[in-house]
Amino acid sequence: MSFDLDSISTAWQASEALCSGKVSSEAHTRALLERLRALEPRLNAFLAILDDEALAAAARYDENRSAFASPLAGVPGAIKDNMCLIGAPNTCGSKILAGWKPPYNATVVNAILDAGGVILGKTNLDEFAMGSSTENSAFKVTSNPWDFSRVPGGSSGGSAAAVAAGAAFWALGSDTGGSIRQPAAFCGLVGLKPTYGRVSRYGLVAYASSLDQIGPLTRDVRDAALVMNLLAAHDPLDSTSWPEPAPDYTKSLVNDVSGMTIGVPKEFFGQGVEEDVASAVWAAIRLLEQKGARVKEISMPNVEYALPVYYIIAPAEASSNLARYDGVRYGHRTEMQCDHVAMFEQTRAEGFGAEVKQRIMIGTYALSAGYYDAYYLKAQQVRTLLRRDFDAAFETCDLLITPTAPTTAFRIGERSSDPFQMKLSDVCTIPVNLAGIPGMSVPCGFSNGLPVGMQLLGPAFGEETLFRAAYTFEQSTDYHLARPDLRPCGESH
């Protein structure tokens, strides 16, 4: 059964083709595996390609289609390599976990497999999700399909690159400070960080436990809603999981923002936001205004402290979470003959990369006796003030709109020697994780041929409002239909 893969570019289109009998899941899966292998030499999006497992899942769907009711049944996608999948490598982009295979599935992975989904492979990421460019992976540097000399964003850069290149219909990423939304913006995709607690974190290897969330990367808003319908559910295995049932997000795909009040926080348009980026976002805001929304500029004075607060809290939690990697129970162990203390030290020295070591040291310092009150406790207090800024904003606004990232995708290596500029890549996304609210990036324009992302923010568990506004914008524009020019390896881009 043959078909034109380029004519079916979204998960919902793939689902319709499967349901109509025009194509089999096996044919879809083989076509995507062929495409991703052709692109991988330049793309470097995957750390593990699971041919046999993907084809077996596709065959299960094709043999008994009536057993699966989900619209994503039989539709191939990918997951970030920090989510556990039985029998598959789970490296987190780090040498310290090279070769380790988890004995259990993440809750989100079970949700996908139980619904008849097909997982093509595990995607590349910054080591332990610590980075904004996917250059910190211990194994490879992922490229942006829109320009292979540029980064796809991070840390979920492999997932974003795979979807943008048409090598997967959907992908899962994790977002601790922007790691879904910023790659979505750089790669011209829709990326959603759900409300903290909306999606189970069980089986997600922890970076900063009070900030991490799993969410979808897709080509359009409808696909994001379909993936969220699978992911959003209470999980007794995650003590932070929200106990209330999740709504059907596809019911929020309504082309109407009449009566909505959109807040535009002026602080998000400072700190290095490029003129083209700001112009594209403001044009999107004006379009929604023309569609019936009311727009008001607001101020959130504590947003300016989000970046330093994040880089105290996140490293502090990381230093605690990463203490488990000691060479004793699993993962890498040094071959040096030494006592147990030296073995711990040498294992971690060999296994962790420079960025992870730096964040562990910063976090350990912030939590140490004599400095805890001055740094960690103070950061948590300012975090509370930031949350209050958002609470106040949502008293008068239904949603907020900001740039997703201050710039478009930068060149590989361009910021490697400038950690401050690298961290500024997440200046617009980090406040959202600290507040625990949902944030969605939607493509809203281009600058010099590179995608620009608009960030929509809602109150806690306000994803339905984001879907409605994002869908309304998407129905009035064609940015989500744009595709990168992917020529066969060896040809100029």
What CATH number corresponds to the domain at position 112?
Answer: 3.90.1300.10
Longest dimension (CA), the chain: 70
* Alpha carbons 386 and 432: distance in angstroms, whole number: 9
Supply the range of the domain harboring residue 258: 9-301+388-481
**H/E element, 246:** none
Residue 487 has pLDDT above 70, yes or no: no
Long-range contacts of 411-418 (CB under 8 A, 24+ apart): 411/149, 411/150, 411/151, 412/133, 412/135, 412/141, 412/143, 412/149, 412/150, 412/151, 413/135, 415/133, 416/135
Domain assignment present for residue 337? The answer is no
Q: What is the mean pLDDT of residues 258-266?
A: 97
CB contact at 8 A, 86 and 104: yes
pLDDT at 491: 47
Residue 162 has pLDDT above 60, yes or no: yes
Structure tokens at 142: 């992922």
Domain assignment present for residue 309? The answer is no
Domain assignment present for residue 261? The answer is yes
Confidence category of residue 490, pLDDT binned at 50, 70, 90: very low
Q: What is the mean pLDDT of residues 226-242?
A: 98
Order of strands, sheet of 213-218, starting from the edge strand that comes earlier in the sequence: 46-49, 118-123, 76-80, 171-175, 213-218, 190-193, 439-447, 450-457, 399-403, 261-265, 294-298
Domain assignment present for residue 191? The answer is yes
pLDDT tens per residue, range 12-39 = 999 999 999 989 999 999 999 999 999 9
pLDDT tens per residue, range 322-337 = 999 998 888 899 888 8
Q: What is the mean pLDDT of residues 436-461?
A: 98
pLDDT tens per residue, range 63-88 = 999 999 999 999 999 999 999 999 99
pLDDT at 201: 98
The count of structural domains within the chain is 1
pLDDT at 316: 97
Rg value, the chain, Cα: 21
Residue 280 has pLDDT above 90, yes or no: yes
pLDDT at 451: 98
Q: Which residues of 255-282 are buried (b: 16+ CB within 10 A; e: fewer)?
A: eebeebebbbbebbbeeebeebbbebbb
Confidence category of residue 488, pLDDT binned at 50, 70, 90: low
Q: Name the nearest CA neighbour of 202 among 108, 91, 296, 336.
A: 108
CB contact at 8 A, 438 and 198: yes
Q: What is the mean pLDDT of residues 41-56?
A: 98
Residue located via tokens 């590349």: 124
Residue 492 has pLDDT above 80, yes or no: no
**pTM for the structure as a whole:** 0.96
Angle CA 428–430–431, to nearest 5: 85
Domain assignment present for residue 334? The answer is no
Across the chain, what does the average pLDDT equal?
Answer: 95
Domain assignment present for residue 307? The answer is no
pLDDT tens per residue, range 396-446 = 999 999 999 999 999 999 998 888 899 999 999 999 999 999 999 999 999
CB contact at 8 A, 191 and 413: no
Q: What is the mean pLDDT of residues 298-313?
A: 97
Distance from first CA to last CA of the chain, Å, rounded? 31
- Between 428 and 8, the more confident residue is 428
Domain assignment present for residue 56? The answer is yes
Domain assignment present for residue 95? The answer is yes
Q: Which residues are catalytic?
A: 80, 155, 179
Q: Which residues of 82-99 are buried (b: 16+ CB within 10 A; e: fewer)?
A: bbbbeebbbbbbbbbbbe
Residue 197 has pLDDT above 70, yes or no: yes
Q: What is the mean pLDDT of residues 168-193?
A: 98
